[in-house]
Amino acid sequence: MVSTRHWNEVEIAVVGGGPAGAAMAIRLAAAGREVALFERWHRPRWRASGVYSSPSTRTELSELLGDGAAGSLVRPISELLVESLSGASVVLVHGTDGPAVGVDRVRLEAALLARARQAGAQVHEGAVVREVVLGSEAGAADAQLLVSTPSGQERWRSRLVVGADGPRSLVARSAGVTRRPLPVVRAGLSVHRLDPAALPDHLPMTARLVFGAGWYVGVTPVPRGRVNVGAVLSRAELQRRLAGKGAPTAVMNRLLDEIPRRRGELWRNEPIVDQVTVTMPLAHRVARIAGPGFVLVGDACGYIDPVSGEGIGRALQGAELAATAIDRWRNGDRSALSRYDQRLRARYRRKDLISWILQGFMGQPAMLDYAIRRLDRRPSVRRVFGMVMSDLAPPERALDPRFLAALLAP
């Protein structure tokens, strides 16, 4: 590790100030833990990331920020229209436990970081963690972090490091738990546009998910009269489209030209309000999510594809479980971190299986059309599928052979 003169000490270091890291910092600080959070950017900024989330996200945000503040950062989404280019379509109506949400992402991250500060966490923005040397689970040795800040390099010691640093997690790499990347690399593009047809923020609207050949586009209404448009495609397809058209904005516009127009869809003619940003690769896999001196949370724990719309929910729910486990561990429960590791990995394994099945359908447009049409015709199957996708029912319900038979039988 590069040598600097001075050591800073903290009980828990959190790397990353996205939804997972900020939620961790709030919960740990509220439990009386001494926390320092390091976030690369000087302030939250738009980047290709998730905005559509399950009803549980609204509950988590209300717990973290209070009901009023949480309500101003999300727009209710009452249903999701899923379509393919061949005209197959189905409407997934969200369950009775409350609507899904479209998130005002940049304001959400700013609000969570402000809340973390208020709860007593040190929040260092513009602070890039360059190197992590982990300590031990038994707490016998401290972890060491080398951090670049606007005023120079700093060295930190902590009892535990939380990796909330997203899909290319430095903490996961330092712990040696990153698994081999997937053979197919996918990229996500995303941008916001004004929507003159937007209803007032508190009224529910419909989101859209359109599948093309090897790509899909999601359109999610979000607060302040805007829609978020996100596209996912393979790296090869992105490169092919970039070679023909030049810039991500042109690629996005061309994809939008390929999806059917719907009546009253006024956002298509409106200007973009930020910029088309690209994230690649999307997928990330790890062998463990907690171990000697570290805990992973959010995308750092592993991520497959945004199609299941569960990244933000996982980040917030994972932070709640991880904060409880860390608090217990600091209070002397030596197995708390390994229980967190086992519980969360078991939970994610089942939902990931559904993501893999969806990936299989997405690679076979004729099968995807078939499944969409079956869902449309079979209300009880559709209801279960919608609930599993919204995290309102356990993934086992959709993995049950009887469910699959009911979905796929002619």
Closer of 69 and 280 to ligand FAD (Cβ): 280
Of 49-57, 113-121, 250-258, 366-374: span binding ligand FAD (CB under 6 A): 49-57
Please count the other Cβ atoms lying within 10 Å of the Cβ belonging to residue 175. Answer: 24
CB 218 within 8 A of CB 230: yes
Q: For the segment 205-264, give every residue that binds ligand FAD (CB under 6 A).
A: 230
Q: Which residues contact 173 (CB under 8 A, 6 or more apart)?
A: none
Number of residues that bind ligand FAD (CB under 6 A): 39
Q: Which stretch binds ligand FAD (CB under 6 A): 12-20, 154-162, 268-276, 339-347?
A: 12-20
Nearer to ligand FAD, 70 or 381 (CB): 70
Question: Interhelix angle for 379-389 vs 365-377, to 10°?
Answer: 110
32 φ/ψ sector (left φ>0, alpha ψ -120 to 50, else beta): left
- Residues whose CB is less than 8 angstroms from the CB of residue 336 and which lie 6 or more positions away in sequence, other chains included: 325, 326, 328, 329
Binding mask 53-82 for ligand FAD (x = CB under 6 A): x-----------------------------
- CB-based contact 288:300 (threshold 8 Å): no
C-beta of 216: minimal distance to ligand FAD in Å?
Answer: 10
Indicate which single residue of 8, 40, 242, 328 sits in contact with ligand FAD (rule: CB under 6 A).
Answer: 40
Q: What is the footprint of ligand FAD within residues 382-401 (CB under 6 A)?
A: none
Q: Which is nearer to ligand FAD, 60 or 299 (CB)?
A: 299
Q: Which of 8, 11, 34, 41 binds ligand FAD (CB under 6 A)?
A: 41
| Closest C-alpha among 108, 89, 107 to residue 316 | 108
Options 19-27, 64-72, 245-253, 401-409: segment touching ligand FAD (CB under 6 A): 19-27
Show the beta-strand stretches assigned E in 73-166.
74-84, 89-93, 100-103, 122-125, 128-133, 143-149, 152-163
User: Contacting ligand FAD (CB under 6 A), which of 10, 13, 18, 104?
Assistant: 18
Under the criterion CB under 6 A, does residue 279 sit at the interface with ligand FAD?
yes
CA distance 274 to 402: 46
Q: Using CB under 6 A, which residues numbered 292 to 311 contact ligand FAD?
A: 298-300, 303, 306, 309-311
How far is it, in rounded angstroms, from Cα 95 to Cα 196? 28
Phi first, then psi: what are they for 124, rounded to 5°? -105, 105
Looking at beta carbons only, is 38 or 374 nearer to ligand FAD? Answer: 38
Q: How far apart are CA 311 and CA 114, in angstroms?
A: 22
Nearer to ligand FAD, 160 or 282 (CB): 282
Q: How far is the CB of 204 from ligand FAD (least distance, A)?
A: 17
At residue 46, the 3 state secondary structure works out as: coil
DSSP result, 297-364: -GGGG-B--GGG--HHHHHHHHHHHHHHHHHHHHTT-TTHHHHHHHHHHHHHHHHHHHHHHHHHHHT-
Please state the closest distance from residue 264 (CB atom) to ligand FAD, in A.
Answer: 23
* Binders of ligand FAD in range 97-156 (CB under 6 A): 128-129
Rule CB under 6 A: which residues touch ligand FAD?
A: 15-21, 38-41, 48-53, 128-129, 164-166, 170, 188, 190, 230, 279, 282, 298-300, 303, 306, 309-313, 315
